[in-house]
Amino acid sequence: MSQLYCAIDTPDLVTAARLAETLADTVDGLKLGLEFFTACGPAGVATLAGSGLPVFLDLKLHDIPNTVAGAVRSLLTLRPAILTVHAGGGTAMHEAAMEAAAEAGEGRPRIVGVTVLTSLDDDDLGRMGWAQGTGETVATLAREAEAGGLDGIVCSPREAAAMRAAFGPDFDLVVPGIRPDWAAKGDQKRVTTPAEAVAAGADVLVIGRPITGADDPAAAARRIAQEIVA
């Protein structure tokens, strides 16, 4: 069954810890990104991991293979369940990340490659010289991720069905850019509802502001979880 991870994007550790406690019984894990990590560091991640929820550490590592391998090794002490690298880093970088992660043994994190951010669309890619468009660009980067041995990718829900068909059931699809019908899109462009993302084959649904910005975050999370199950 698809899992629901709540994106906690705040630099304030007290706020983040309160949210983690509030959501402990309603979501499957917490997604912590650059805003939280740069403000609170590894100690902050350890604090939130104390909630008992698995942590998805979304740092989008992207550098030469040796540097990325070193970064992964440094993060293993935090025992993240999921860790991101850039899918555009190349197969050697991906292989180095996986080799470093393997040092944690059976408890290693799942390593997934970020393809095209959900805040971008075909027009944005065209301006940057990616004439393929979002769908084919995601597919190209997914092939790089698979070739480098990554466990899967991060893609928008718009590409999830095609990626599931192309790469099979064992390739992790981590899917942000999900907005329930009752929530605002914000800065996301390639979005679908939670139910549509599940139908498309998403393994992990990452949802932030519809939960964290709600008057009752736990109630919002329960509402989304019910939609996922349904």
What does the domain layout of the chain look like in residue ranges?
Answer: 3-229
Question: How high does pLDDT run on average in the chain?
Answer: 93
DSSP code of 108?
A: P
Dist. CA 131–CA 188, nearest whole Å: 21
- The Cα–Cα gap between 34 and 39 comes to 8
In this structure, the number of other CB atoms found within 10 A of the CB of residue 14 comes to 9
3-229 falls under which CATH superfamily?
Aldolase class I (3.20.20.70)
pLDDT score recorded for residue 67: 98
**Cβ-based neighbour number of residue 30 at 10 Å:** 25
Q: Tokens 């970088």 appear where?
A: 93
Q: pLDDT value at position 182?
A: 65
Q: In sequence order, which residues have a C-beta less than 8 Å from that of residue 131 and are 6 or more positions away? A: 125
* 60 among known catalytic residues: yes
E-assigned strand segments in 37-154: 55-61, 82-86, 110-114, 152-154
Q: Which of 31, 60, 185, 189 is catalytic?
A: 60
Exposed/middle/buried for residue 122 (C-beta within 10 Å: 0-12, 13-18, 19+): middle
Chain segment 173-222, per-residue pLDDT in tens? 999 988 887 655 555 555 788 999 999 999 999 999 999 999 999 999 99
Tell me which residues of the chain have a pLDDT lower than 70.
Answer: 182-190
Specify the pLDDT at position 184: 58
Alpha-carbon distance of 222 to 205, in angstroms, equals: 14
